Every structure is written in C-alpha cells, then in structure tokens.
Amino acid sequence: MASNASPLKNRSESWIEEEIARYLKESEETDSKENELYGPEGHKDELIAQEERLRKLQEFKEILASERKKLESHKEKIEVRERQESTGSKRRGRKFLRAEEAEERIRQKAKVNLTDLESGIMRTNTCYLQGYNAQAVVSEDQVIIAAEVTQECNDRRQLRPMIEAFKENLHEVDDSLKVKTLLGDAGYFSSKNVKGLKTDDPDVLLAVSKEYKNHRKDEDGGNIMPMPLTPISLMEYRLHMKEGKKLYRKRSITVEPVFGHIKEVLGFDRFMRRGFNACICEWKLICTVHNILKLWRYGFDKVHKAGEAKAIFIETGQNIEAIAL
C-alpha cells in the first residue's frame, strides 16, 4: 500500500552528511550577518527553525546508521566465507556477493525517505512503490477479523503475528470460536513457518509456489506421495489432493475480493497519514469501514438472526470452516 510520500524523496547516508555539513556552514554565515544587522536576539525565530531542521537531519542520519548496521551483517558473512574458501574449503549453497559488491549494495540500499521516515520501498506485481505492507485475515463471508501493517517488504515473517492477531480478536468476541483451516498464498510459506506452528493453531494450507507452477505439477502427476517427506513436499502434496484444492480455491472468493473492494471500490490505495503508527490506525479504520458496509448491506435484522443461528452452530461443537490471508 503506497504511503503519503514519494520515492523521489529517498536520500542516502552520504547525501545526509553533505547536507548537514552544508547547512551548518550556511547557518554560521547567515547567523553572523544577522547578528550584525539585528543583534543576537533579533532573529530568534530563524534560529529555532534552523535548529529544528538540523535535528531532523540528525534523526535521518541515525535511522540510516541503524539500517546500515543491518545490511553490514551480510558483509560479515561474506568475509567469513572468503576466509574459509581461501583455505580450499568449498561451501555449498548460493554464492555470496564479493565484499566490494556488498559494500556498493549497502550504499545503494541504505536510504531514508525525507517525507515519511518509516515507510520503505515495497515490491508489487507490477512495480516498486514507497509504502507499507498491509495485512488482513478474512473469514469465509469476507469479514476482516484481523488487520495489521508491517514495514517488511514481504510476508515471510507475518504468518505467526497474523495467527496471534486473529486468535486474540476471536477470543474477545467469543472464546468458543475456533478456526479450522487457514489459507495463505506463497508469500507466507517457509519451512520455518510450517515447523513453528503450535498445537492450538488451525490447520494451515499455504501455497509453496506461484499458481502456474502448481498447475504444471498437476499435469506432471503431482498427486504421487513424495519421498522423503519434507515441509515443502508435504505441503505441495496436500495442495494437489482433492480436498486441498477445494479448500485453497476459497482464497479467490474470500481475501482477494476484500482487497479489491478496498482499493478499487472504496478508492483506498494510498495512506493519507504519515508514520508507521498513524498508518496502522488508518488501515484498521478502513478495514472497520469495510466490515460496517458488509453489515449494512447484509441487513441488521439478518445479522441478529444469523447471530442466533451461529450460537446454535457453536453449541454443536463445530468450527469455522476456513479463513484466508
């Protein structure tokens, strides 16, 4: 989801340092001239404005320093690997970048947006944009039961937080409400996520690759039990089984229409507020609006009747069939 900021306002660490040096030099020259014209107290407002701008620049620099620290951990891994390979020891796996290439990538990636400090570069299906990663967990009847915003550019580490979020929300409504199956796209899949599932979690069904790859495997006889069984092969096998296909198809009529409604019908495809916490509040407000519209269109009388039916349904010990994110 795009933020209220332009990617053209991204600045590197070297730009910030040069700007601070230039600003300090200009401020000193301007202060000296204004002291001669108006006296030391005659331009107090300008001094306050200068101090505020300098404070912001220093804040930008601190944020970039923390980002650079994260990126340099990759450079340390490269140096360790180069030392090991210099002794003749070969390492398996994808080859790391050379130290010089890693340093150049660090310089390019370590940037901060002057308009919205906490937003970042996000990759979409068609382009890159300056923004945040908006998350939603949706029930079978397209009601949003959990909504969050993250600064991470992918969904790999969002499965656990979203599970905990909808559990907490359902507990607030009715502790007897349970989710039977959770559906998620390939962005949420990793072996670590599958192994990290808890006993009280719903059954999780995640795509392990893009849809076209799944269709191609169907044609190649993907329904044969894979050996040896791994988190990836087992999940693929479940997706190609009849029941798995039936359940996973529900994503296209649950969570996808909700994002389409919010972006295309409500016209919300960009945050109006700036800052991470402000955008979290704005996203949850929009999701609440979506739910209120669902309630209004369904009809309040029907909601009361459905609530009574749901109470009877829960008493029988059955569970909510499926939700998606």
Amino acid at 160: R
The closest of 90, 87, 114 to 3, measured between CA atoms, is: 114
User: Final residue of a domain: which of 90, 123, 156?
Assistant: 123
Residues 305 and 200 in one domain: yes
**Residue 277's pLDDT band (cuts 50, 70, 90):** very high
User: In angstroms, rounded to a whole number, what is the distance separating the alpha carbons of residues 167 and 232?
Assistant: 25
Do 119 and 3 touch, CB atoms closer than 8 A?
yes
Do 179 and 323 touch, CB atoms closer than 8 A?
yes
Residues 237 and 99 in one domain: no
To the nearest whole percent, how much of the chain has pLDDT over 70? 64
Residues 305 and 156 in one domain: yes
Do 242 and 203 touch, CB atoms closer than 8 A?
no
User: Final residue of a domain: which of 97, 123, 149?
Assistant: 123
Residues 77 and 159 in one domain: no
Model pLDDT, residue 313: 47
User: In angstroms, rounded to a whole number, what is the distance separating the alpha carbons of residues 111 and 311?
Assistant: 52
Report H helices in the chain: 13-38, 44-86, 99-109, 159-173, 191-195, 211-219, 231-240, 242-248, 255-260, 276-298, 300-315
User: Final residue of a domain: which of 103, 123, 143?
Assistant: 123
More confident residue, 19 or 82: 19
pLDDT digits (tens, 9 = 90+) for 164-195: 999 999 999 888 888 999 999 999 999 899 99
**Residue 322's pLDDT band (cuts 50, 70, 90):** low
- Helix (H) / strand (E) element for 135: namely strand 133-139
139 in a structural domain = yes
Residues 158 and 207 in one domain: yes
Q: 263: which DSSP letter? A: I
Three-state DSSP at 11 gives strand
1 in a structural domain = no
Residues 141 and 165 in one domain: yes
Residues 198 and 298 in one domain: yes
The maximal CA–CA distance of the chain, rounded, in angstroms, is 87
Residues 71 and 167 in one domain: no
Q: Which domain holds residue 274?
A: 132-324
230 in a structural domain = yes
- As a whole number, the mean pLDDT across the chain is 79
Using CB atoms within 10 A of its CB, is residue 129 exposed (0-12), middle (13-18) or buried (19+)? buried
Three-state DSSP at 133 gives strand
Residues 100 and 147 in one domain: no
110 in a structural domain = yes
pLDDT digits (tens, 9 = 90+) for 224-239: 777 778 888 889 889 8
Residues 178 and 108 in one domain: no
Look at the chain and report how many structural domains it folds into.
2
199 in a structural domain = yes
- Helix (H) / strand (E) element for 112: namely strand 111-113
More confident residue, 315 or 16: 16
Residues 94 and 163 in one domain: no
**Residue 133's pLDDT band (cuts 50, 70, 90):** very high
pLDDT score of 6 more than 80: yes
List of long-range contacts for 163-171, beta carbons under 8 Å, 24+ apart:
163/201, 163/202, 165/137, 166/137, 166/323, 169/145, 170/145
Residues 160 and 209 in one domain: yes
58 in a structural domain = yes
Question: Is the whole-model pTM more than 0.95?
Answer: no
27 in a structural domain = yes
87 in a structural domain = yes
